[in-house]
Amino acid sequence: MRAKIQGTQDRPRLVVFKSNTRVSAQLIDDESGKTIASGSSHNQKGKDMQEKLQLVANHLAKEAQKNNIDKVVFDHGGFGYKGIIRSFADSVRGAGLKF
């Protein structure tokens, strides 16, 4: 999967990782090898997974808008596009990013 997906400065790669209790995501510019923005649900205790997804998605969308980014390439990191990953993608779209 990673060999086929490349992010650029104008359209960075949105990488998402999930575990049983946490979700983390990053916006990465593969051309320069830099992380533009990142977000994690690490410190959000006592909330259900949907609330955590929404908070991380909103944070990433705000950071992307600060950097004049409105389009991304979605990299679900080998996880199936269902369940939490799909909900995260929908939350990111709802926050204003397009992919």
Query: Domain spans of the chain?
Result: 13-95
Strand partners, 18: 23
Point out which residues pair with 23 in neighbouring strands. 18
What's this model's pTM, rounded to 2 decimal places?
0.87
Cα gap 68→10, rounded to integer Å: 8
pLDDT score, position 46: 74
Domain 13-95 has CATH 3.10.129.10: no
Please tell me the predicted confidence (pLDDT) of residue 44. Answer: 82
What is d(CA 43, CA 8) in angstroms, rounded to the nearest whole number? 30
The reported pLDDT for the residue numbered 3 is 65
Residue-wise pLDDT tens digits, 47-89: 888 898 999 999 999 999 999 999 999 999 889 999 999 999 9
The residue with tokens 């999967």 is 1
When pLDDT is averaged across residues 5-31 and rounded to a whole number, the result is 89
